[in-house]
Amino acid sequence: MKQLIIPALIALLVAGCSSTPDGDQGGAPVESRDGKVATVTAGGVDGRNLPRELTDPNSILSKRSVYFDYDKFDIKAEHKDLVAAHAKFLSNNRQFKMLIQGNTDERGSREYNLALGQKRADAVKKALTVLGAREDQIESVSLGEEKPKNTAQNEAGWAENRRGDMLYSGEF
Amino acid sequence: MLRPLLKLRGLSLIAFSALAFVQAAAYAELSIEITGAGASRIPVAIADFGGEPGSARAVTSVIRGDLERSGLFKLIDPSGLPMTEETSPAYGDWRSRGADALAAGSISPTGGRQEARFRLYDVNKQTALAGAAFVTSTPMLRAAGHRIADEIYEKLTGERGVFSTRIAYVVRKSAQRYELHIADADGQNAQTALISKEPIISPAWSPDGGRLAYVSFENKKPVIYVHSLASGQRTVVANFKGSNSAPAWSPDGSKLAVVLSKDGGSQIFTVNANGSGAQRVTTTAGISTEPFFAPDGQSIYFTSDRGGSPQIYRSSLYGGDTQRITFEGSYNVSPRISPDGKSMAFISRRDGGFRLAVMDLASRQTQVLTESHKDESPSFAPNGRMILIATELGGRGVLSAVSVDGRIKQRLSIPAGDVREPAWGPFAK
């Protein structure tokens, strides 16, 4: 059997005791796919200053969240004033842009939840544009179940996560 | 006990050289538990490999661990019968221990590298079934063990082994730290491909195994990237207005099916692998997401709520000819088609729990494989025998591999951290 020890540098496939070489034996190098994986760090985004009316706790505009019922996508009556206030701000301040992030609770498929969150963000965007905001001021996106505000696995927690958040330029 | 074996092969020897890579620091590794086992297992003995004891032990334990974990083999105690690939087997002794197959081998240094040799024998027929040698750097001896285990698995079962393949998954270290990891199929040798402050979901392997497509939220919205693993180079393939998600590779690797909300709603499009040429596939109102190509590349399976609840549909890639596939229950999502195109793994809500199910596509017969409450993200092993899923145990995300007949279950877990979004990579080329 000693003759079967072949120096690595020769790097070739040899039929040993067999008289018929096996082409399908699988001669690829062990390391061809197990090489080093490079590590990448993804960056973040810094916020910047916003006008006081958007951040003053006494201003309705400091409130940014619209909550939804389970498997529902319509804006409830209790949130209509908030949405109307933001629509008015956007129509009076055309230079401002808004990102609406839709969110869901954690139950079910991540990608399906991403699509459900998109439905919620789209519902907020539609309400804002009906009330005077311009379409090109607003982008509606979804975070699905990925960014829960409340991690409790009960109805109280889930209710806080079924949500659309309105962010202004500089906040996202 | 052995199935009709492939034609008797003499000892053929494969030698090669490969670049020595510096291994990234090993992070907390996945551990594997078998929580069930197949009914009839092939009794196989793996003799302790000869050579330098540390290296020999490492390779022997990789081979034994791989075979045992598959659930298809019963390992026979080899103690007191030392041998290597150069020894004539004492067939009578091995037969009396109940072994149907026997493998033996050794490790020897060769020019600063290591050569792992083995032979596999049919104990009953008293013949050699296979043999090979793999040359590798010392840190990569585990890879040689996986290749030997793949050879043994294939000779004894008639199907390709997946021990040399890799898996990808996401670890949530904290609310501000997410990592995309690549590990060997046994959960060892984990390396970090991406670190982000924001979530990463839906990794999908390119058919050549060199790249991953995934969704990253690092720009405060879902954007699809393709990431080359060896170089770390990342390309944005979909960053349209709105959400960009759910990437799936076409079988030839030229295109991705993706979900875009740019035209309103969540709709399936195809884009070229460099991000150009977006073309819309689905047009029905409501959600269409989680696309997955059939192996022939001509049709797409996906999840849609067009019928009032999320169900799985199939459509021609060129739109139209849409058929509903699932009818049982009110929540069926995440379709993944087996490599042979004959079955579909998916997640079905049953009795309030989200459970892994498999449907035979010809008969439409469905089998629910787990009793979990939170199974997610199934992916088939490239030989179609096991399905990797994310599930939850004690409030923590863990990975689990389940055989397509539901009889073999393995659990993989990282002691600290929340593991999710697994994807099983293709065969090593």
Q: What is the pLDDT of residues B357-403, one digit of tens each?
A: 999 999 999 999 999 999 999 999 999 999 999 999 888 899 999 99
pLDDT at B410: 86
| Residue A113 three-state SS | helix
Share of chain B above pLDDT 70, in %: 90
Residue B132 structure tokens: 């090979």
pLDDT of amino acid B320:
76
CATH code, A52-168: 3.30.1330.60
Q: State whether residue B261 is helix, strand or coil.
A: coil
CB A54, CB A89: distance < 8 Å: yes
A149 touches chain B (CB under 8 A): no
The model's pLDDT over A48-100, given as tens digits with 9 standing for 90+, comes to 578 999 999 999 999 999 999 998 999 999 999 999 999 999 999 999 999 99
Question: What ranges make up the beta strands (E) of B222-375?
Answer: 223-228, 234-238, 244-249, 255-260, 267-272, 279-280, 288-293, 299-304, 311-316, 323-324, 332-337, 343-350, 353-360, 365-368
CA distance linking residue B332 with residue B340, whole number of Å: 22
Q: How far is B75 from chain A (nearest CA, A)?
A: 24
In chain A, what are the domain boundaries? Answer: 52-168
For position A19, what pLDDT does the model report?
A: 33
Q: What's the pLDDT at B413?
A: 59
Residue contact A40–B234, C-beta within 8 A:
yes
Identify the pLDDT of residue A41. Answer: 72
Mutation to test the B interface, candidates A13, A22, A31, most B Cβ within 10 Å:
A31
Angle at B389 between CA B154 and CA B288, to 5 degrees: 115
| Length of chain B in terms of residues written | 429
Tell me which chain A residue has its CA closest to the CA of residue B10: A18
Domains delineated in chain B: 31-157 (3.40.50.10070), 166-424 (2.120.10.30)
| Residue of chain A nearest B305, judged by CA positions | A112
Q: In 3D, which of B364, B360, B375, B365 has the Cα closest to residue B409?
A: B375
Cβ contacts (< 8 Å) between B19 and chain A: which residues?
31, 35
List pLDDT tens digits, range B79-99: 999 999 999 999 999 999 999
Provide DSSP, B265-282. Answer: S-EEEEEETTS---EE--
Average pLDDT for A4-9:
34
Interface of A with B in 67-96 (CB under 8 A): none
Query: What is the rounded average pLDDT of the residues B250-276?
Result: 96
Residue B159 has pLDDT above 50, yes or no: yes
Is the Cβ of B85 closer than 8 Å to some Cβ of chain A? yes
pLDDT of residue B33: 58
Q: Which residue of A has its CA nearest to B150?
A: A26
pTM given for the model: 0.86
pLDDT classification of B284: cutoffs 50, 70, 90:
confident
**Residue B393: what pLDDT?**
86
Least Cα separation, residue A25 to chain B (angstroms):
8
How far apart are the two ends of chain A, measured CA to CA in Å? 68
Q: Does B206 touch chain A (CB under 8 A)?
A: no
Measured CA to CA, the distance from residue A102 to residue A66 in angstroms comes to: 9
Helix H or strand E encompassing B109 = strand B101-110
pLDDT surpassing 70 at residue A18: no
Q: What is the pLDDT of residues B313-337, one digit of tens each?
A: 999 998 678 999 999 999 999 999 9
